[in-house]
């Protein structure tokens, strides 16, 4: 079993690997590779296809592939709620609930990403205690698994990240209905761009109360208790 502290650090690595490729990422890849080998060897084995691809491919090609994979293919979007709510007003409320969840844990966003951006969510998990991170991951795994299946079907090297995430929670991912039509304009107007700065994605903030549960899956697909 992995050391909980190593697992929390591992979420940060996964977050970094899913960000838009920048020169800094390529420079840090050998260090990330070594860190995973030393602390999370099973994760390293699972992530090897992506790590090898990132190290062997020219940066400009990685950036073009990233845009084609995530930005121009709605079924593989890295925005969790896009796969559930589409143009529905429920998407806006889901964003508000997720922001409240971040705030409840004493964190607030910086930068101009939407709150349901997968790298941001994974960084959030890295700052929780292991049991809370597992609970939150279990809530989101239905959508994450959906993205992973789409990536695997298209033979993307990024699929291994989402397949690894499915092994970190006992919750079995449920099938999602066909996602709604893509339309991010309303959400972007509401949530971004925001505060200046890009890194880190989260910073300590004031803890807020009165939080509503965050639902990462359609109500009809909610598990029975």
Rounded distance between C-alpha atoms, residue 56 and residue 138, angstroms: 33
Rounded distance between C-alpha atoms, residue 207 and residue 106, angstroms: 4
Q: What is the pLDDT of residue 52?
A: 96
pTM (predicted TM-score): 0.77
Q: What is the pLDDT of residue 60?
A: 97
**Which residues in the chain come in under a pLDDT of 50?**
1, 180, 182-202, 204-215, 217-225
Rounded distance between C-alpha atoms, residue 23 and residue 27, angstroms: 6
Q: What is the pLDDT of residues 134-148, one digit of tens each?
A: 999 999 999 999 999
Rounded distance between C-alpha atoms, residue 187 and residue 48, angstroms: 35
Angle (CA) 57-117-53 rounded to 5° is 15
Q: What is the pLDDT of residues 8-55, one digit of tens each?
A: 899 999 999 999 999 999 999 999 999 999 999 999 999 999 999 999
Give the N- to C-terminal CA distance of the chain in Å, as an integer. 28
Distances from the Cα of 162 to the Cα of 8, 91, 105, 213, angstroms: 16, 22, 24, 23
């Amino acid at each position: 079993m992995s050391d909980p502290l190593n697992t929390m650090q591992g979420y940060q690595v996964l977050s970094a690997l899913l960000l838009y490729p920048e020169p800094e990422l390529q420079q840090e890849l050998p260090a990330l590779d070594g860190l995973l080998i030393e602390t999370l060897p099973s994760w390293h084995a699972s992530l090897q296809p992506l790590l090898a691809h990132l190290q062997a491919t020219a940066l400009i090609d990685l950036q073009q592939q990233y845009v084609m994979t995530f930005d121009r293919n709605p079924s593989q979007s890295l925005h969790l709620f896009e796969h559930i709510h589409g143009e529905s007003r429920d998407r806006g409320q889901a964003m508000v609930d997720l922001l409240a969840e971040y705030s409840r844990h004493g964190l607030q966003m910086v930068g101009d990403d939407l709150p349901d951006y997968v790298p941001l969510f994974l960084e959030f998990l890295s700052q929780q205690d292991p049991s809370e991170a597992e609970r939150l991951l279990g809530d989101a795994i239905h959508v994450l698994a959906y993205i992973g299946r789409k990536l695997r079907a298209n033979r993307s090297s990024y699929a291994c990240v989402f397949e690894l995430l499915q092994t970190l929670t006992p919750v079995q991912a449920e099938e999602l209905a066909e996602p709604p039509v893509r339309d991010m304009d309303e959400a972007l107007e509401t949530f971004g761009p925001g505060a200046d700065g890009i890194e880190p994605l989260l910073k300590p903030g004031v803890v807020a109360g009165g939080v509503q549960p965050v639902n990462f899956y359609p109500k009809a697909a909610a598990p029975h208790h």
